[in-house]
Structure 1
Amino acid sequence: MSSPATVPYKSFVQIDRSSATPVYLQIANQLINAIQRGYLPTGAKLPGTRSFSELLNVHRNTIVAVFEELDAQGWVETKPNTGTFVLAKSAAKPHKIRTAAPLQLDAYPKTTGFAFRKSSLLDNPFEHSSCEYVFNDGTPDIRLTQVDHLSSLYSANLKRKSNHKKLGYYNHDGSEFFKRHLSNYLNLTRGLHISNDNILITRSTEMSVYITSEILLSAGDIVLVGSLSYFSVNMIFQKSGARIMPVPIDEEGIDVTAVRKICEQHTIRMLYITPHHHYPTTVTLSATRRLELLSLAAEFGFVILEDDYDYDFHYDKSPVLPLASADKNGMVIYIGAFGKSLAPGFRTGFIVAPEDLMIEMRKHLGIIDRQGDVLMEQVLGEMIEEGEIHRYLKKSLKVYQERRDHFTDLLSEQLDDYIAFKKPAGGLAVWTRWKQPVNLMQLSKECAKNNLFIPKTLLYQHKNLSAMRLGFGHLTPKEAAAAVAILKAGVLKQLH
């Protein structure tokens, strides 16, 4: 057996002093790795603490801590007046250390040794850029959120002794306190008539759609969506094996006559809709069509999955109540996000549905998100109870309305010859149609050269359509002016 002095420890023990991991743990973990790979065989004697510390250029107490960690995990045994030896962790035959050449640990495998399913459907469609200016599809400006105040609310709940017991157990059903206040909030603002038993708390709208799809969709089921629809949700439907069938969208929202014709020819399982501000066109579904859709769902037996996308952001008039508020036959599942005007970590998703379906949904949530975030839900519940969420919304809506007006004025002044749009009554984005033939991908690349990033997910172009969805909520007036100027310069260069 090789003596401790002949083992090339420095070849497999590398210390990173800039790492957040303590040095003694770095050394211990790498020694464990060497033992597992057979570089330090069973029975091998480790150097003494003094000589080992000199070899690795660390304090002797650090090596003492290393040996204590290895002993605690059962990798070594220290014999008084004899030394520290590697213990057997398996029945594998020990490997002798070769000292003729420098020893290097094998890299972590780049590929698996087994086959697995791959999905092109779930390829990440999102892009990122280091450009100073960015158009997105309509997200809030986190700079408007009072992060310090939100953090203090969470910290206070974390320190509150009455909440400590909530940290010691799993509660995938969510905070009953939050669900009670959220149901009251939705009843007040959306015209619903629900209780705690009708709500499921999720992490996001996408998680809500995923759980719904897992329960309600089977391979081959037909799901109706707008001819232009939210790509992430479409990905989830396709992953479940469903067949997506597009329905035309016009100035009143989804074409209900077309929905009826499809229902008369096919068995439809679900209709996904964003009626308040249709994604991506921002149009609002008319009141007449809302009633017709509810009637069709009852007649043909399909589920309406209603997404209240951007419901909280409305400027010119009161928002139209969701379909779920008028659903008497239990055909609507209502999903949304609470706290979109808050910092990202303080937002949550929700599902509203009849109690029998909710029982099954809780089972699925218990598998994919068993822990939940009870303290965060406690904070959000208190914000509703104390009226904080209304104050946040009122303050942010004033800013976003000013930004909408400024942004649409810029579009009219700078790009009126090239695009057509309607000022949206709500939401954080403007739907623009191009009057002249413009290659939107090329336009995006040209803008990127001038520090404006336009993701491909905002571009809608085929033989009958050239359009962009341009978010304004995250842009200050100065930033919006700079972004529109760059966009105009890109258009002029391509057309002239």
Structure 2
Amino acid sequence: MIAFKNLIEIKRGGEQAVYLQIQNALIHLIQQGVLTSRLRLPGSRDMAVQLSVHRKTVVAAYDELMSQGWIESVPSKGTFVSGQLPEVKPEGLVQEARFSENAPFGFDRIEALHRIEPALPSSLTLDEGTPDVRIAPVTEIFRHYRSVISRKYNAKHLNYGPFYGDLSLREVLVKHLQETRGLRCSVDQILITRGSQMAMYLSSQLLHREGGISIVGETNYIAASLTLEHAGAQVMQVSVDDKGLVTHEVEALCQEYIIRSVYVTSHHHHPTTVTMSAERRMHLVELSREYGFAILEDDYDYDFHYQRAPLLPLISIASNGNVVYMGALCKIVAPAIRIGYMVAPKDFIASAGHLRRIIDRQGDAIMERSIAQMILQGDLQRHSRKALKLYHARRDHFCNLLSEHLSDYLSFKIPEGGMAIWALLRGDMEWGKVAKDCKAKGLMIPDYKNYDQLGLGHNGLRLGFASLDFDEQKRVVEILNEVLEAYEKRIKK
């Protein structure tokens, strides 16, 4: 006889009702093969005695199990494990179900996409260049979100909506992008996405499903390179200097190969932060006209430029429709507000919308509508100006600290905009060792491997300053200085 009192553990006072605990325990025992098909179960009174519960509790559990087909009642004979269930080889007694760590079936592990999981912000984190979420316009977001969702006539937006994104946000973006970027487009040329990365994924899938060549910089945003390769593109690299992507090298590749796309972060090249010159912008657009490739323009932080007015994006000067423009509001508001956009010719947007539909039916219509209201009422623009002023001051402060305390170890140029500095470590030192020592002192720094996929040995790393206040920046530099001084002493021994 099976001793159910040893197999079923009842946790009284928990969130789950006792009868459900009994039901789930019996299901697990059946799934594990401990209770076999057609096995007779104790009557409700006997089971209640064994488990020290009221008989009605067991009856409720049995009723639920019968309704789900796990057990069956045979008149005048008793209650049995259903005879319709397949035989299960016993796996031993396990009190709770546990999933295997390794799948027993084959699948494509896509090892190329596996990267070190970014660490959650610790007490002190030097990121790659992200906004300070502590200054996010939470009050304004909540006010507009509550306003939208509380009005009865907006209830329709809780239902399925257009997979191109909320219409009101697309209409607002038409005007906003024209005023801020000189970009003339219509509503049906805009697709709302969950950040610029989704736009990058959709574009890459549409352009490179059948392969083809894509050109990127020798130093490049790793997520973009991985996305292109995953889509099927053969990625070729060209040099990046202080004027951005070297377009004459792009031209040379066009003369030798059929190019399907060129990926560029024209405003602040990722990772080096350099701004693409006006001459090269014009040259790249002309090459796209001549050779018929698409320019994938990732304008991830257009709104943060400190030295002068930002250069207009490539799409504003490309009337031939060869540019697929990707941007995001996440960098202005907060990374968790996953709202981005793609601007491209109408037929390309239509295809991207239908592809997006089978990945993510639609975005957060209420949040999208709330952001539209923030733009209409000027809240987003006011926050953007506030953030720009703050990050400008933080850039200057951080650069001064680096120059004063770390000039013997690091070299860098003051970036014209963005949220990070591209710092080159002295040649006889390694970022990997620095990161390990910094972690021991409570400071997390970015993974240097993300910036040198080709093994160029440039020893560069993005040091984000926007998310750190002055005191945090001082502490970061203090730790870096301690680590690098100790490193230098080890080298000299």
TM-score (norm 1): 0.88
Structure 1: how far apart are the matches of 2:473 and 2:419?
Answer: 13
Deviation digits for residues 138-184 of structure 1, max 9, x if unmatched? 01111112435534543443343223333333542321122111222
The equivalent of 2:204 in structure 1 is 213
The equivalent of 1:197 in structure 2 is 188
Among residues 451, 458, 470, which one is paired with 2:463 in the alignment? 470
Unpaired segments ≥5 residues, structure 2: none
CA contact (8 A) 2:124 2:476 kept: yes
The amino acid of 1:133's aligned partner reads L
CA contact (8 A) 1:171 1:374 kept: no
Question: CA 1:312/1:491 → structure 2, altered by over 3 Å: closer, same or farther?
Answer: same
Structure 1: how far apart are the matches of 2:57 and 2:267?
Answer: 62
CA contact (8 A) 2:195 2:330 kept: no
Does 2:89 match 1:69?
no
Deviation digits for residues 400-455 of structure 1, max 9, x if unmatched? 22211211111111112322222222111011123553222112212222111223
Question: CA 1:127/1:377 → structure 2, altered by over 3 Å: closer, same or farther?
Answer: closer
The equivalent of 1:303 in structure 2 is 294
The amino acid of 1:399's aligned partner reads L
CA contact (8 A) 1:459 1:469 kept: no
Query: Higher mean Cα deviation, 19-28 or 419-428?
Result: 19-28
The equivalent of 2:487 in structure 1 is 494
The amino acid of 2:395's aligned partner reads R
TM-score (norm 2): 0.89
The equivalent of 2:320 in structure 1 is 329
Structure 1 residue 136: Cα displacement: 1.2
- SS of aligned partner of 2:129: coil
Query: Higher mean Cα deviation, 377-386 or 327-336?
Result: 377-386
Structure 2: how far apart are the matches of 1:456 and 1:154?
Answer: 36
Question: CA 1:447/1:40 → structure 2, altered by over 3 Å: closer, same or farther?
Answer: same
Question: CA 1:102/1:392 → structure 2, altered by over 3 Å: closer, same or farther?
Answer: closer
Query: Higher mean Cα deviation, 279-288 or 9-18?
Result: 9-18
The 5 A counterparts of 1:371-450 are: 371-450=362-441
Percent identical residues: 39
CA contact (8 A) 2:399 2:414 kept: yes
The equivalent of 1:263 in structure 2 is 254
Deviation digits for residues 99-127 of structure 1, max 9, x if unmatched? xx967678544544433333221112434
The equivalent of 2:25 in structure 1 is 30
Structure 2: how far apart are the matches of 1:360 and 1:424?
Answer: 37
Question: CA 1:414/1:205 → structure 2, altered by over 3 Å: closer, same or farther?
Answer: same
Among residues 170, 173, 182, which one is paired with 2:173 in the alignment? 182
The amino acid of 1:242's aligned partner reads A
The equivalent of 1:13 in structure 2 is 8
CA contact (8 A) 2:144 2:374 kept: no
Among residues 124, 129, 135, which one is paired with 1:138 in the alignment? 129
Structure 1 residue 55: Cα displacement: 3.9
- SS of aligned partner of 1:66: helix
Question: CA 1:205/1:24 → structure 2, altered by over 3 Å: closer, same or farther?
Answer: farther
The amino acid of 1:471's aligned partner reads G
The amino acid of 1:31's aligned partner reads L
Question: CA 1:15/1:486 → structure 2, altered by over 3 Å: closer, same or farther?
Answer: farther
Deviation digits for residues 328-358 of structure 1, max 9, x if unmatched? 1111000121232323332312111101111
The 5 A counterparts of 1:82-97 are: 85-90=80-85, 92=86
Does 2:222 match 1:227?
no
Among residues 466, 473, 488, which one is paired with 1:480 in the alignment? 473
Structure 2: how far apart are the matches of 1:440 and 1:255?
Answer: 27
Query: Higher mean Cα deviation, 103-112 or 434-443?
Result: 103-112
CA contact (8 A) 1:129 1:453 kept: no
CA contact (8 A) 1:282 1:424 kept: yes
Among residues 234, 237, 248, which one is paired with 1:243 in the alignment? 234
The amino acid of 1:387's aligned partner reads G
Question: CA 1:201/1:185 → structure 2, altered by over 3 Å: closer, same or farther?
Answer: same
The amino acid of 1:488's aligned partner reads N
Query: Higher mean Cα deviation, 308-317 or 359-368?
Result: 308-317
CA contact (8 A) 1:131 1:448 kept: no
Unpaired segments ≥5 residues, structure 1: 1-5
Among residues 310, 323, 329, which one is paired with 1:319 in the alignment? 310
Structure 1 residue 290: Cα displacement: 0.9
Structure 1: how far apart are the matches of 2:209 and 2:476?
Answer: 44
Query: Higher mean Cα deviation, 485-494 or 212-221?
Result: 212-221
- SS of aligned partner of 1:345: coil
CA contact (8 A) 1:458 1:469 kept: no
Structure 1 residue 131: Cα displacement: 5.0
The amino acid of 2:248's aligned partner reads T
Question: CA 1:112/1:491 → structure 2, altered by over 3 Å: closer, same or farther?
Answer: closer
- SS of aligned partner of 2:271: coil
Structure 1: how far apart are the matches of 2:387 and 2:18?
Answer: 47
